[in-house]
Amino acid sequence: MLSWLSLGLLCVALALVARLVLRLRAARTVREAAEQRHAELEQRCLQLEESVVLLEAADSQRKDLERQLDQAQKLEAVGQLAGGIAHDFNNLLTAILGNAEILRMHASLGELREEVDEILRAGRRGAELVRQMLSFARRSPGQIVPIDLHQTIEDSISLLRRACSPRIFVHVQLEDESPIIEADPATLENALLNLGLNARDAMPDGGHLTLKTKQFEVTTGGMIPVGAPPDLAPGAWVRLTVEDTGTGMEDEVKAHLFEPFFTTKAPGKGTGLGLASVYGTIQLLGGRIVVDSVVGRGTVFNLWIPLTDKEAQVQEAAPDPNEVRRRAGHILLVDDDDAVRNVGKKLLVELGCTVSTAVDGLDALDFYQEHRRDIDLVVLDMQMPNLDGQGTFRELRRMNPKVRVLLVSGMAGREEAERCLGDGALDVLAKPFRLEDLSRAIARYGRLQRSPNATN
């Protein structure tokens, strides 16, 4: 009886153990499922966090793109305005500067010499203003040639030091190896002057202005230099830094820094074109600008400009006056603006040329058809009624494939001028041109003919 009882108790115990094992297994399964679910939830949380970060980044990128689009639209609008008025405004400046030069050469000015010099200075400032507008509107790249960046900096520094007060110390820290870039020397020098003058104005109580360079090589898949734009393309670059210890700027000001006509200066103290023209200049060179500024500590402009392996162009010396007169020949001057045509004729006569004029393209074709054997050089404006410069050039080439044509542009027809250069035109002379500009052109493209008399 006892053994049967013991056996029964044993069976019950085994059943309890078996049930406990099953419960333990079930609990372990539940725990594993819970852990797996917890891991899945953690993974989802991480994914959600990543999505939030991506959304925030996308929203930030969208806002940046919207700001860039807004900036581009503003520049395009001002560019259209600038391109439209540049030709007419440069015609006026050509007449003003040309006649002032003639007056200065021949008149017995006496006490009026200072006033004539002031007319010349004002006219050049007006020409610079037009060039700045076209520069930040990215309508006029100027004459792009390989240049030594360090030489351009040195040329700018001499002007900056004269423009700064004695309380502002200008420092230059240039690498031993000169970086060669492709740029228009005058436009780039103007950009550096604008940055320097902007820094000067930010240090009314004095401070330090530093310009320095450093070259970098960016490789495909390699590390981008610290502080460089993230979209910097592979290749050789130079970083030109313009740094001041001035007042700095707030983020709100920084956001509008390169907008045309934006300025924090008092009325009459700034046009809002300086930094906008810097932006346009660097963009035209395929470069980038990175700005860092802290209120009360100063501002750093880093200009990233691509390098070239071409040799720097040596600055051309002033032409020999005897060579100019030796090569002066018969010039056909074509321009629809009476003032430009008259002053251009006077300046060319000063150089010893025989000058005939035409009021537009059709008039020029008629004259050239009759006198083609006498014409050594055609000086042709690009923007004219009836038949523009490009059309006139093509017709002249049909008459005489060897015709020698020097184009003149108020910068509004630059693309058309480039196409003419590709088809055989000699060069492009920008308005407002000076006597020195015409002198160089005659020395380079004139013939061995000397005819000091002018004809109508």
pLDDT tens readout for residues 214-262: 999 888 777 788 888 888 889 999 999 999 999 998 888 887 777 766 6
Establish if 34 belongs to a structural domain: no
* Average pLDDT score over residue span 32-42: 80
329, 415: one domain: yes
Whether residue 291 is found in the same domain as residue 421: no
Q: What is the CATH number of the domain that holds 295?
A: 3.30.565.10
- The reply to whether 197 and 342 lie within a common domain is no
Residues 284 and 149 in one domain: yes
Q: In the prediction, which pLDDT does 449 show?
A: 42
The verdict on 248 and 347 lying in the same domain is: no
Same domain, 347 and 287: no
Residue 1 has pLDDT above 60, yes or no: no
Tell which phi-psi region holds residue 142, choosing left (phi > 0), alpha (psi between -120 and 50) or beta.
left
The answer on 259 and 366 residing in a single domain is no
Q: Which residues contact 24 (CB under 8 A, 6 or more apart)?
A: none
Same domain membership, residue 331 and residue 215: no
On the question of pLDDT at 439 being above 50, the answer is yes
Of residues 118 and 334, more confidently modeled? 334
Q: What is the pLDDT of residues 58-91, one digit of tens each?
A: 777 777 677 667 766 666 666 666 666 777 888 8
Q: Tell me: pLDDT of 390 over 80.
A: yes
Q: Based on the domain organization, do 156 and 288 belong to the same domain? A: yes
326 and 380 co-located in one domain? yes
Asked if residue 244 lies in contact with residue 298, where contact means CB atoms within 8 angstroms, the answer is yes
pTM for this model (two decimals): 0.60
- 89-116 tens-digit pLDDT: 888 899 999 998 888 887 666 667 778 8
Q: Which domain holds residue 351?
A: 321-445
Q: What is the mean pLDDT of residues 367-377?
A: 92
- Asked if residue 291 and residue 148 are part of one domain, the reply reads yes
What are the φ/ψ torsions at residue 378 (nearest 5 degrees)? -105, 125
User: Is 410 within a domain?
Assistant: yes
Q: Are residues 169 and 288 in the same domain?
A: yes
CB atoms within 10 A of CB 191: 29
The total of structural domains in the chain comes to: 2
Closest CA to 277 of 418, 50, 75: 75
Which comes out higher in pLDDT, residue 158 or 267?
158
Domain membership flag for residue 92: no
For the chain, what percent of residues have pLDDT higher than 70? Answer: 80
Q: Give the pLDDT score at 4.
A: 66
125 in any annotated domain: no
Mean pLDDT confidence for 138-164 = 80
In a domain, 95, yes or no: no
